[in-house]
Amino acid sequence: MRSTEASANSNGRDTTQAVAPSPYTLLRLPEVLRIRGRCRSSHYTDIQHGLFTPPVSIGARCVAWPASEVEALNLARISGFDEAGIRDLVRRLVIQRSSVA
């Protein structure tokens, strides 16, 4: 699922609107990096240090991140959470994964 939806208006111009992802939307790495504004190496360093949730396996060689987790972690950063607060949020988000049926 894409985070934007493109359509053409009566003048033939592209009018792109943001579409809110479902809480169950899975985002692939390029989209997560774009949303976070981080490079690949920094993203994986954040995961190693408990500052971002680990990926969800969606295939033999394919991973993704729940859009709701990406959004929650971005909001925490914007709200000024310190690293301890971010780590706590990451732990809670990972625990919540097991309760989603």
Domain 4-8+22-99 matching CATH 1.10.4100: the answer reads no
Mean pLDDT of all residues in 22-31: 90
Mean pLDDT of all residues in 10-34: 75
pLDDT for position 15: 52
Task: Give the residue from 43, 9, 15, 19 showing the smallest Cα distance to 29.
Answer: 43
pLDDT digits (tens, 9 = 90+) for 42-64: 999 999 999 999 999 999 999 99
Mean pLDDT of all residues in 67-89: 97
Task: Give the residue from 99, 101, 94, 38 showing the smallest Cα distance to 66.
Answer: 94
- Predicted TM-score (pTM) of this structure: 0.77
Mean pLDDT of all residues in 63-91: 97
CA distances (Å), origin 26, targets 9, 13, 16, 56, 65: 29, 30, 21, 9, 5
- 85 pLDDT band (50/70/90 cuts)? very high
Distance separating alpha carbons of residues 11 and 89, to the nearest angstrom: 46
